[in-house]
Amino acid sequence: MKVISILIAFLNSIFGVLLILSCVSAGEALGWIAFKTGAGILAIYFGMLTFKDSIQPISQGRLLLSGLLLVIIGVSAFAFGVHWSIVSGDMKNTVLLFGGSLFVQGLTSVLGMESTAYK
């Protein structure tokens, strides 16, 4: 599970950078730009935290809280994407994909930590 978490953390970090770069010249609402920038920064931060844990172990409490926060953010982003798609009729695939990816990263991070705790 830890290898999957590291791979998804890498992909989410790249996706986070692309989200932040897409806000540079976007003519969108300020709330939407803030949401995308915040999600991108969180993806980069949790990606760096996951990479750091693979090199040098960090505290289990911090890793557990960050994994649970990723699960919460991922489910929230996915629910927001579904809501946006229903209300506007415009399918936001990027939000659905990013929310699902954050959820899977958090879940694999927590499950990977659980499997190494008992060894």
Q: What mean pLDDT is predicted for residues 19-27?
A: 76
Note the pLDDT tens digit of each residue in 75-109. Answer: 888 888 788 788 877 776 777 788 888 888 888 88
Contacts of 40 (CB under 8 A, 6+ apart): 15, 16, 17, 18, 19, 20, 23
The structure's pTM equals: 0.72
Counting residues of the chain whose pLDDT is more than 90, the rounded percentage is 0
Our count of domains for the chain comes to: 1
CB 67 within 8 A of CB 109: yes
Note the pLDDT tens digit of each residue in 34-84. Answer: 877 887 888 888 888 888 877 887 777 887 888 888 888 888 888 887 887
Residue 113 domain boundaries: 2-117
More confident residue, 91 or 4: 4
Q: Closest by alpha carbon to 35, among 88, 85, 90, 73?
A: 73
CB 18 within 8 A of CB 41: no
